[in-house]
Amino acid sequence: MKYTLLILIIALFASCDSDVPEERIIDYTAENEAEIKQYIEDNDLDAEKSASGLYYVIEEQGTGEQPTASSNVTVAYKGYFTNSNTPFDQSEGYTTSLQKVIPGWTEGITYFKEGGKGKLLIPSHLAYGSFTQNGIPGGSVLIFDIHLIKVNQD
């Protein structure tokens, strides 16, 4: 009886851990995979899937330099959700380090060479996860039309 009471007390204190966030992390992997596959089918895309779960479509490979995950690049892009062609963000020339963007971009941009164009289909675990950020709902699949304009010299 003493041990049962002790286990209950330990369980009570463990469940009151203040480090656990109120908004729990949700695994959207299966849901995102189905959503991306449906989007690919609906839009008749010839997409490749990487080991991380990122899907990408290379429309034009490009002929210039190919960036690495630590490169600084200039990219034109349009970002939207699978259920809308209305962009949530876009730029005609955004310059950034690939170390300062979502993991889907860090990986995906490296599949293109300068001048390359295509599409990144990014599951939430390679974007913002299960948390809402900058108006993008948690668990969202993000689609980006990409044009790698330039790999910049560091």
**Banded pLDDT at 4 (limits 50, 70, 90):** very low
6 — phi, psi (to 5°)? -65, -45
pLDDT tens-digit profile of 26-51? 999 999 999 999 999 999 999 999 99
**Banded pLDDT at 134 (limits 50, 70, 90):** confident
Distance CA 119, CA 116 (A): 10
Average pLDDT in the chain: 88
pTM value is 0.83
pLDDT tens-digit profile of 65-100? 999 999 999 999 999 999 998 999 999 999 999 999
> Could you say which of 3.20.20.150, 2.60.40.1120, 3.40.190.10, 3.10.50.40 is the CATH number of the domain covering 28-152?
3.10.50.40
